[in-house]
Homo-oligomer: A and B are copies of this chain.
Amino acid sequence: MYLSLQEILETPKIRRLNIINSISGIKPGNLIGTRSKTGQSNLAIISSVVHLGSNPPFLGYVLRPVGDVPRHTFENIGETGYFTVNHIGPDFTERAHYTSAKFDKNVSEFEACGLTEEYQHGFHAPFVKESAIKMGLRHVESIPIKSSNTLMIVGKIEHLMVPDTAIDEAGQIDLETAGSVGISGLNSYYNLKKIGEFPYARVSEKPDFEQP
């Protein structure tokens, strides 16, 4: 199938949403945990977490346009400065998916969706007990992306937890062993099967690839 920009713009809304949300490739399946000043917890599925830097350790995620969705997560981050990022596992993808329903602000998606709040290391925001890999982040900046009317929320990692079985001596995390899932589009979930690992690429050590 080929589509030009004009044809994309003329595609019916739901079909366009599905195509464009899945065309970028696999997305990491994460849950963002927050808690308001008054103690109300919130949990939101998000597929736009992106690595920004290692030293210091920064992650970002993309927030949809103002007014488009309820933004309890964003409000809590604004109020308190803290959030957690928790990998979704294959045994709770459906529960994670339903955190995207528009619950009232006084409803905790943890309770509504059968997931468990966990408080550790004196951190204000709740971790997800069911997640194998999780991080606690402090909000550092929110960057407007004008063209798409979205916001990039940037946080610095203050705590991280990884199962010992899923990380090797070199610090590489095996996402198959950890049972982390990927997302395509708005509602499809994928398991990960490791197929290869290559050394740091140097021009002088490049294998002799044959032209196909």
The chain A residues found within 8 Å of chain B, CB to CB, are: 1-5, 8-9, 11, 13-30, 47-60, 62, 85, 87, 90, 93-95, 97-103, 112-116, 121, 130, 133, 135, 140-141, 143, 145-150, 152, 154, 156-164, 167, 170-176, 180-182, 184-203, 206-207, 209-212
**Interface pair B19/A173, CB less than 8 Å apart:** yes
**Interface pair B180/A25, CB less than 8 Å apart:** yes
Report Cα–Cα, A54/B14, bound state, in Å. 10
**Interface pair A188/B184, CB less than 8 Å apart:** no
**Interface pair B195/A191, CB less than 8 Å apart:** yes
Report Cα–Cα, A100/B130, bound state, in Å. 36
Q: What would 11 more interface pairs be, CB under 8 Å, given A26-B180, A27-B28?
A: A16-B171, A17-B54, A23-B162, A25-B28, A25-B175, A58-B148, A98-B209, A101-B206, A114-B212, A175-B182, A193-B193
Report Cα–Cα, A187/B198, bound state, in Å. 6
**Interface pair A145/B150, CB less than 8 Å apart:** no
Q: Taking A54-B16, A182-B182 as contacts, is the C-beta distance between A188 and B172 under 8 angstroms?
A: yes
**Interface pair A98/B201, CB less than 8 Å apart:** yes
**Interface pair B195/A98, CB less than 8 Å apart:** no
Partner of A201, one of B97, B175, B211: B97
Task: Give 16 CB contacts A-B under 8 Å.
Answer: A1-B161, A14-B170, A18-B170, A20-B157, A23-B57, A24-B50, A25-B30, A27-B51, A53-B149, A95-B209, A100-B201, A115-B212, A145-B152, A147-B154, A172-B187, A190-B194
Report Cα–Cα, A101/B114, bound state, in Å. 46
**Interface pair B198/A5, CB less than 8 Å apart:** no
**Interface pair B184/A174, CB less than 8 Å apart:** yes
**Interface pair A114/B211, CB less than 8 Å apart:** yes
Chain B residues with CB below 8 A from A210, complex form = 114
Q: Taking A201-B97, A209-B95, A212-B130 as contacts, is the C-beta distance between A22 and B141 under 8 angstroms?
A: no
Report Cα–Cα, A190/B145, bound state, in Å. 30
**Interface pair A171/B209, CB less than 8 Å apart:** no
